[in-house]
Amino acid sequence: MTLNLPSPAQVKPLFFSSNNSTKLPGSSSLKRKDSDTTVERRVYCSAAAQSPPPAWPGTAIPEPSDFKTWDGQKPISVLGSTGSIGTQTLSIVAEFPERFKVVSLAAGSNITLLADQIKTFKPEVVGLRNESLIDELKEALADVDHKPEIIPGEQGVIEAARHPDATTVVTGIVGCAGLKPTVAAIEAGKDIALANKETMIAGAPFVLPLAHKHNIKFFPLIRTFCNFSVYPGVAKGCT
């Protein structure tokens, strides 16, 4: 299943009115104790013009019959590789090495775990956000034959996100620090396996039109996005 992103022009606003429109659930009535008068409080809603496309708001639709499946190892980038989402993602990669290949990693400051991940998955590029630890990471990899390109700071995370060989980027960085690399990945045409909440909470008005422009897909990884049915392209329900 993938998620279809409509263009901004396809998203129709909702207007509240008091005329003959569809009654929303939750209308209430109030009655004063000292009076026979009942005051009803009703909420009405009507949609403008045509109905929204079937994939909005936030409804998953089946893949088209001509959708390309990946043969062999699918190249992925993992941002926040030493965090919860990152380590779980890499556990799946380790379980299915014939299906996935890690081409880049990005992490913050857990050098011991990051060095182990580099030795195991042999990425081509590694972004290290805490640039003061770059010498420590190089020392931890001194006896490794396969040495990746290590890029320090925020730019390193961005370069990992837009690695030219990656088809999908797992965004597991916590907080607003994950927004800029996610945008960089979208601009590079990468599909996004989304676990960074700020991408939608803070960046949706910018990110979703950008995703539509570059024709990329979102794959929500956390249940938080089950509640984001107001945003096109994000699943309304999770299984």
**Sequence-separated (6 or more) residues with CB below 8 Å from residue 48:** 12, 13, 14, 15
The pLDDT tens digits of the residues spanning 69-94 come to 667 899 999 999 999 999 999 999 99
Strand segments, DSSP code E, in 100-160 are: 100-107, 125-128, 149-152
The pLDDT tens digits of the residues spanning 196-231 come to 777 777 787 888 899 889 998 888 876 655 554 444
Q: What angle do CA 152, 136, 185 make, to 5 degrees?
A: 25
The pLDDT tens digits of the residues spanning 19-34 come to 444 444 444 444 445 5
The alpha carbon torsion through 189, 191, 195, 198 (nearest 10 deg) reads 30
Name beta bridge partners: 40. Answer: 29
For the cut 70, the answer to whether the pLDDT of residue 163 exceeds it is: yes
* pTM of the predicted protein model: 0.67
Mean pLDDT of the region 87-106? 96
Between CA 209 and CA 230 the distance in angstroms is 14
The answer to whether 164 touches 144, Cβ cutoff 8 Å, is no
Q: What angle do CA 49, 52, 57 make, to 5 degrees?
A: 140
For residue 175, what are its two tokens? 């907080």
Predicted local confidence at residue 56, as pLDDT? 38
Set out the domains of the chain in order of their start, with CATH numbers: 74-225 (3.40.50.720)
Between CA 12 and CA 10 the distance in angstroms is 6
Mean pLDDT of the region 59-72? 53
- CA distances 104 to 14, 96, 172, 226, Å, are 43, 17, 13, 28
Between CA 8 and CA 126 the distance in angstroms is 35
* Mean pLDDT taken over the chain: 75
> Which of 4-8, 21-25, 168-172, 209-213 is predicted with the least confidence, judged by mean pLDDT?
21-25
Between CA 205 and CA 156 the distance in angstroms is 26
